[in-house]
């Protein structure tokens, strides 16, 4: 038969994957299109932010020496409409939030704190210098560091780049990923099922997972367990940056993926990880192409993509921390540990008075994708004796849409 090489730990397997996932080439990207991308270079601000002393309130720009006092209103400053001259002694200028504080003024008195009559403001209290003025560069100075290489860009980062006047940034290009489903029994959803057939779910599922990790996806298959068909499909997949196949990596007579991959020049780094589900996962490379052979059982494929493929895709994009990013929460019900393998149990989070609770879903077998769909977390159950008890703080991987 085909004895499995000794099973690697999850950490050891991940380390081997990440050692091969070197960042791809960089490209310029318009800031509005950077959500989800990873910066390849540090970015500095191109302007002082704010670029001028600006008002934090709707109110009146004054000299603090003139407060308290009754001052004539000599100009109305709006956002984008600065004063046409400096503020003189004994004068006030109306100013809107975001308006440029005029030369000569050193404070803004909020409109709520004045009495306005006959184009004069009555200010009843002394105003401290600098009140309600946002200083030049108070957020960031021109040329100062804004975002570091390796940062994954989300909405706040897009906002910061745009605010700082940055029009384009350098990001690592998106990895091109082929998702290949193997199995003679598989039919596309919408087709008629004949005896012994099932709907193919790994293709759409893995495509969704890798797309959410920033990759550009092409799907191939389902491809029957036929040497010629699978060799041709694998060779096509090997043209990508990453090939993610599912099925056909176990030891049955129809499991062809590993042998055919080896014949096509893929050098296997490992086959078999001490994880449940997902044990028969394989990983190798051909040239710069990363090659993942995921098991066919849908929940096994789901676990393997989160543990190994998503981090690899983020590392290819130059992420500083490619993950997987475990979080901690309290277990709502006990989970039995297994002597020989770590387990990733499907669980549902809920918010209680004590913070997040993790409730394992019923139906923990590796073919039960419908049960797994009720979960939004993978709880790490470390291998060992006994059980994790209800109330224990455990580590889990969030499953995000």
Q: How many C-beta atoms lie closer than 10 Å to residue 357's C-beta? A: 19
DSSP label at residue 64: G
- Told to check if 230 binds ligand AMP by CB under 6 A, we report no
Nearest residue relative to ligand AMP (C-beta): 296
- Residue partners of 258: CB distance under 8 A and separation at least 6: 248, 249, 268, 271, 282, 293
CA distances from 34 to 37, 41, 167, 170, 173 (A): 5, 13, 11, 10, 11
Binding partner at 10 among ligand AMP, Mg ion, none, C-beta below 5 to 8 Å by kind: none
- Told to check if 237 binds ligand AMP by CB under 6 A, we report no
With vertex at residue 358, the alpha carbon angle to CA 356 and CA 360, rounded to the nearest 5 degrees, is 170
* Residue whose CB is less far from ligand AMP, 8 or 301: 301
Q: Contact 123/67 with Cβ under 8 angstroms? A: yes
362 three-state secondary structure: coil
Q: How many residues bind ligand AMP (CB under 6 A)?
A: 19
Least distance CB 183 / Mg ion (angstroms): 4
- Told to check if 246 binds ligand AMP by CB under 6 A, we report yes
Binding partner at 185 among ligand AMP, Mg ion, none, C-beta below 5 to 8 Å by kind: ligand AMP
Binds ligand AMP by CB under 6 A, chosen from 184, 201, 356, 383: 201
- Residue partners of 321: CB distance under 8 A and separation at least 6: 150
Binding partner at 295 among ligand AMP, Mg ion, none, C-beta below 5 to 8 Å by kind: ligand AMP
Q: How many Cα atoms sit within 13 Å of 278 on the Cβ side?
A: 27
Least distance CB 379 / ligand AMP (angstroms): 23
Least distance CB 225 / Mg ion (angstroms): 6
- Residue partners of 299: CB distance under 8 A and separation at least 6: 277, 346, 365, 366, 367, 368, 369, 372
Least distance CB 213 / Mg ion (angstroms): 25
Binding partner at 181 among Mg ion, ligand AMP, none, C-beta below 5 to 8 Å by kind: ligand AMP
Least distance CB 198 / Mg ion (angstroms): 11
- Told to check if 181 binds ligand AMP by CB under 6 A, we report yes
Direct distance between the N- and C-terminal alpha carbons of the chain, in angstroms, rounded to an integer: 40
- Told to check if 91 binds ligand AMP by CB under 6 A, we report no
Burial class for 348, CB neighbours closer than 10 Å (0-12, 13-18, 19+): middle
* Residue whose CB is less far from ligand AMP, 246 or 349: 246
- Residue partners of 228: CB distance under 8 A and separation at least 6: none
Binds ligand AMP by CB under 6 A, chosen from 27, 185, 268, 359: 185
Binds ligand AMP by CB under 6 A, chosen from 102, 150, 248, 322: 248
Residues that bind Mg ion (CB under 5 A): 183, 247-248, 296
- Told to check if 293 binds ligand AMP by CB under 6 A, we report no
Least distance CB 344 / ligand AMP (angstroms): 17
Least distance CB 202 / ligand AMP (angstroms): 3
Binds ligand AMP by CB under 6 A, chosen from 296, 311, 318, 322: 296
Burial class for 393, CB neighbours closer than 10 Å (0-12, 13-18, 19+): exposed
Q: How many Cα atoms sit within 13 Å of 378 on the Cβ side?
A: 23
Least distance CB 317 / ligand AMP (angstroms): 26
- Residue partners of 253: CB distance under 8 A and separation at least 6: none
Least distance CB 296 / ligand AMP (angstroms): 2
Binds ligand AMP by CB under 6 A, chosen from 160, 177, 186, 244: 186
DSSP 336-358: E--SS-EEEEEEEEEEETTEEEE
Backbone angles phi, psi at 185, to 5 degrees: -80, -5
Distance, CA of 395 to CA of 329 (rounded, Å) = 7
Listed ranges 64-72, 247-255, 258-266, 282-290: which one lies at the site for ligand AMP (CB under 6 A): 247-255
Which positions lie near ligand AMP, rule CB under 6 A? 181, 183, 185-186, 198, 200-203, 246-248, 250, 252, 295-298, 367
């Amino acid at each position: 038969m085909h004895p499995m090489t000794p099973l690697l730990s999850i950490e050891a397997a991940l380390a081997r994957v990440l050692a091969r996932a070197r960042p791809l080439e960089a490209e310029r990207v318009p800031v509005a299109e950077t959500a989800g991308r990873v910066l390849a270079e540090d970015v500095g601000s191109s302007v002082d932010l704010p670029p001028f002393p600006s008002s934090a309130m709707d109110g009146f720009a004054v000299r603090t020496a003139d407060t308290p006092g009754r001052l004539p209103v000599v100009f109305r400053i709006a956002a984008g409409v600065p004063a046409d001259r400096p503020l003189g002694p004994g004068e006030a200028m109306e100013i809107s939030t975001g308006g440029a504080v005029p030369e000569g003024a050193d404070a803004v008195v909020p409109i709520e704190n004045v009495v306005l009559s006959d184009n004069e403001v009555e200010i009843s209290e002394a105003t401290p210098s600098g009140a309600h003025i946002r200083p030049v560069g108070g957020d960031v100075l021109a040329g100062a560091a804004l975002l570091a290489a390796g940062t994954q860009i989300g909405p706040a980062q897009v906002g910061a780049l745009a605010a700082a006047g940055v029009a384009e940034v350098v990001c690592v290009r998106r990895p091109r990923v082929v998702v290949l489903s193997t199995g003679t029994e598989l039919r596309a959803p919408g087709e008629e099922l004949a005896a012994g057939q099932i709907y193919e779910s790994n293709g759409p599922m893995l495509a969704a997972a890798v797309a959410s990790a920033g990759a550009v996806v092409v799907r191939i298959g389902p491809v029957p367990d036929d040497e010629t068909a699978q060799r041709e499909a694998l060779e096509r997949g090997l043209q990508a940056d990453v090939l993610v196949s599912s099925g056909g990596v176990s030891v049955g007579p129809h499991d062809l993926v590993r042998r055919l991959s080896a014949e096509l020049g893929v050098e296997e780094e490992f086959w078999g990880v001490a994880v449940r589900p997902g044990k028969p996962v394989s990983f190798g490379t051909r040239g710069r192409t990363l090659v993942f052979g995921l098991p066919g059982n849908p929940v096994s494929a789901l676990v393997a993509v989160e543990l190994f493929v998503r981090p690899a895709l983020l590392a290819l994009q130059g992420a500083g921390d490619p993950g997987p990013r475990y979080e901690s929460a309290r277990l709502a019900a006990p989970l039995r540990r297994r002597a020989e393998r770590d387990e990733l149990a499907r669980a549902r989070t809920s918010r209680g008075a004590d913070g997040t609770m993790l409730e394992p879903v019923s139906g923990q077998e590796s073919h039960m994708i419908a049960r797994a769909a009720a979960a939004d977390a993978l709880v790490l159950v470390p291998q060992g004796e006994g059980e994790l008890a209800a109330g224990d703080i455990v580590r889990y991987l969030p499953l995000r849409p």
